[in-house]
A and B are shown apart, each in its own frame.
Chain A
Amino acid sequence: MADTKICSDISGSIWKVLVNIGDKIEAEVPLVILESMKMEIPVVSSDPGVVVEIYVAVGDAVAEGDPILLIRE
């Protein structure tokens, strides 16, 4: 079981968290929504898995590369 850290690919602020710890997730489905450059930018996983950890809360500022979620494949 490989754990993959899903990191923000852009700086912005956390607008919505759409999943909870333990949720089963599909690939390429929005998990968290960032607000950046006046756009709502989804954070997605390239692979399906289960949410193990959530490192952010609504309103947090994140920089590019900051961890958002931990996914177990």
Chain B
Amino acid sequence: MTYRDMLDELEQRKAKALGMGGAEKLERRRAQGVLNARERIEKLLDPGSFLESGLYATSNRPEVKDRSPADGKIAGFGRIDDRPVALVSNDFTVLGASSSTINGKKIRHMREVAIRSGMPLIFLGESSGARMPDRMGAAGRAILGQDSTEYQRRRQSPWISALLGPCYGSSTWYSCMSDFVVMRKGALMAVASGRVTSMAINQPVDSETLGGWKLHAETTGLVDVIVDSDEAALLTIRRFLSYLPSHHAEAPPVHPVKEGASENAKRILEILPPDGAKVYDVRKIIEAISDPESVFELKARFGKSITTALARLDGRTVGVLANNPMFKGGAIDVDACAKATSFLVFCDSFNIPIVFLVDQPGFLIGLDGERRGAPAKIINWMNALSLVTVPKISVIMRKSYGQAYLNMGGGRNADEVVCWPTADLGFMAPEVGVNVMFGVKKEEDPERFQKLLEELTRDTSAWGLASLYETQAVIDPRETRECLISLLAVHRARHGSEVSQHYLSNWPTSY
């Protein structure tokens, strides 16, 4: 064989592997307006930066060896904003990107390199689940479980998943292990497909109900951001990564700040209604405080009485955990607890300081919450908060009642507590308190009710808290941005390092 022959063979094999599942299947996707696995990689990464690993891998089963280019999962390294990443892009045109022995080895290698080298790991998900007949019988079982760290998350580097089509099996599992999940409308995520589920439970199952975007955005909270197209999903991944360090041992990147970034903060008094009975959308406050266009909300449709968002203050990443009175009056329900806890775990793992914006009437009490284990969720949150070692600054804007005063950073649960003059530090809504503590109802004895109400609302002001040195500052709300920037500068450099202790890094990725 001459060099020429050898190089010809290389070219032929390369062309076959890059041909994926064949022109017909690729054309069908194009007609549907869906990107294929290689187009997704091209659009996600910096141009020309993809370095493939395992282009010539195939199934190890002789009967499909010839029609399994890259064995259905394309893996490799590349760069996003000039920082290295590892990725796996599922090629649905090759055996439905089903999970097999060989493509499992590719995933494992990406995972190991991403952890060892300290770079984000990205999964572009679309998979039909386990490959058959590979997984059948005892021999099929015997290829599973050969890596005891397969489902281990210690958050050494960020993991990101995109749900870009039907996702069953591995794409689902990796999404549930990821720090961030973006889903395209029309994609599905479930343990098994509608067809399999329908047969198992012997009743018709609608795929969208089983695993569509609404379910995951609003009910399970397993997805962070919903988008309309593949392209938007890939841009969203790039944007998410712009807030994060490449790994747990470095600080998040610093971005340039536009001139006049502090202008919006002056608008806070227009957003916050002077009448305590009126609600407002806390996301407007977050926008006003943060660098312009830097707010990136997570799980916007889930547990909505808590807002979680990444943002930048003076070019530096912060995690904002805010009560949103717009929903349930800010009363914190079980979903909101889960959302808060997972956000604390995430921020702490990647050295992102946390800003609490507080305006809450307490935890939402009721039968539904108790049935769903509300007490444990509340204390799980407290346990996480007490293990957080990134800087924590709590801003009490209006109400902070009950136990949730502590969950939102009250007392020593934040490095600094700042109050607005509008702060209200009661134990519970005073009208309810009069009834609960003294058994007096307004309609029965209005005079006594009013007297007791005054008693209960005495000394619930920011000034009371300030004189006890339980709030370290009382500020004009319009000074919040500058105040946070200054306080974070004080607390960020802990012995010269912006890296936290990561006591939460092996906490579950969902609750």
Q: Is the A/B pair a real complex? A: yes
Using CB atoms and an 8 Å cutoff, list the residues of chain A in contact with chain B.
Answer: 9-11, 28, 36-42, 44, 46, 64
B326-A39 in contact (CB<8A): no
A38-B429 in contact (CB<8A): yes
**Chain B contact residues: helix, strand, loop or mixed:** loop
Chain B residues in 8 Å Cβ range of A42: 279, 326
Known contacts A9-B328, A10-B328, A28-B281; A39 and B368 CB within 8 A of each other? no
Smallest CB–CB gap between A3 and chain B, Å? Answer: 13
From B218, B329, B364, B432, A39 is in contact (CB under 8 Å) with: B329
- A11 nearest CB neighbor, chain B only: B366
Contact count band on B:
20 to 34
B277-A38 in contact (CB<8A): yes
- A46 to B328 Cα, complex, angstroms: 14
A39-B301 in contact (CB<8A): no
B278 CB–A CB distance under 8 Å = yes
Besides the known contacts A38-B277, A41-B279, 18 further A-B residue pairs in the complex with CB atoms under 8 A apart: A9-B304, A9-B327, A10-B328, A10-B331, A10-B364, A11-B366, A36-B329, A37-B329, A37-B331, A37-B361, A39-B276, A39-B329, A40-B278, A40-B279, A42-B279, A46-B218, A46-B301, A64-B366
- A46 to B304 Cα, complex, angstroms: 11
B431-A38 in contact (CB<8A): yes
> Could you give 9 example pairs across A and B, Cβ below 8 Å?
A11-B366, A28-B281, A37-B329, A39-B276, A39-B278, A40-B279, A41-B329, A42-B326, A46-B218
Chain A residues in 8 Å Cβ range of B364: 10
- A37 to B365 Cα, complex, angstroms: 12
Chain A residues in 8 Å Cβ range of B366: 11, 64
Chain A residues in 8 Å Cβ range of B218: 46
A41-B281 in contact (CB<8A): no
**Chain A contact residues: helix, strand, loop or mixed:** loop
- B369 nearest CB neighbor, chain A only: A64
Chain B residues in 8 Å Cβ range of A44: 326
B325 CB–A CB distance under 8 Å = yes
Chain B residues in 8 Å Cβ range of A64: 366, 368
- A44 nearest CB neighbor, chain B only: B326
Chain B residues in 8 Å Cβ range of A40: 277-279
- A41 to B361 Cα, complex, angstroms: 13
- A10 to B326 Cα, complex, angstroms: 12
Smallest CB–CB gap between A30 and chain B, Å? Answer: 9
Known contacts A38-B277, A40-B277; A10 and B368 CB within 8 A of each other? no
- B430 nearest CB neighbor, chain A only: A38
Chain B residues in 8 Å Cβ range of A9: 304, 327-328
- A44 to B328 Cα, complex, angstroms: 11
- A64 to B328 Cα, complex, angstroms: 10
Known contacts A10-B331, A64-B368; A37 and B429 CB within 8 A of each other? yes
- A36 to B429 Cα, complex, angstroms: 11
Known contacts A10-B364, A28-B281; A39 and B325 CB within 8 A of each other? yes
- A36 to B364 Cα, complex, angstroms: 12
Chain B residues in 8 Å Cβ range of A37: 329, 331, 361, 429, 432
Chain A residues in 8 Å Cβ range of B325: 39, 41
Smallest CB–CB gap between B299 and chain A, Å? Answer: 13
Chain B residues in 8 Å Cβ range of A38: 277, 429, 431
Chain A residues in 8 Å Cβ range of B278: 39-40
Taken residue by residue from 322 to 347, chain B's Cβ proximity to chain A (1 for < 8 Å, 0 otherwise) reads as 00011111010000000000000000
Smallest CB–CB gap between A61 and chain B, Å? Answer: 15
Chain A residues in 8 Å Cβ range of B368: 64
Smallest CB–CB gap between A40 and chain B, Å? Answer: 6
Which 3 pairs show the lowest CB-CB distances between chains A and B?
A: A39-B329, A10-B328, A41-B329
List which B406-422 residues lie within 8 A (CB) of chain A.
none
Smallest CB–CB gap between A62 and chain B, Å? Answer: 13
Central interface residue in B301, B326, B329, by most chain A CB within 10 Å: B329
- A42 to B280 Cα, complex, angstroms: 9
- A41 to B432 Cα, complex, angstroms: 17
- B273 nearest CB neighbor, chain A only: A40
- A46 to B226 Cα, complex, angstroms: 13
Chain B residues in 8 Å Cβ range of A39: 276-279, 325, 329, 361
- A64 to B331 Cα, complex, angstroms: 13
- A44 to B279 Cα, complex, angstroms: 13
Chain A residues in 8 Å Cβ range of B329: 10, 36-37, 39, 41
- A3 to B128 Cα, complex, angstroms: 30
- A40 to B326 Cα, complex, angstroms: 9
- A72 to B41 Cα, complex, angstroms: 37
- A41 to B329 Cα, complex, angstroms: 6
Known contacts A64-B366, A64-B368; A41 and B328 CB within 8 A of each other? yes
Smallest CB–CB gap between A35 and chain B, Å? Answer: 9
List which B276-290 residues lie within 8 A (CB) of chain A.
276-279, 281
Smallest CB–CB gap between B400 and chain A, Å? Answer: 14
Chain A residues in 8 Å Cβ range of B281: 28
Chain B residues in 8 Å Cβ range of A41: 279, 325-329
Chain B residues in 8 Å Cβ range of A28: 281
- B325 nearest CB neighbor, chain A only: A39
- A46 to B329 Cα, complex, angstroms: 17
Taken residue by residue from 79 to 112, chain B's Cβ proximity to chain A (1 for < 8 Å, 0 otherwise) reads as 0000000000000000000000000000000000
- A64 to B281 Cα, complex, angstroms: 20
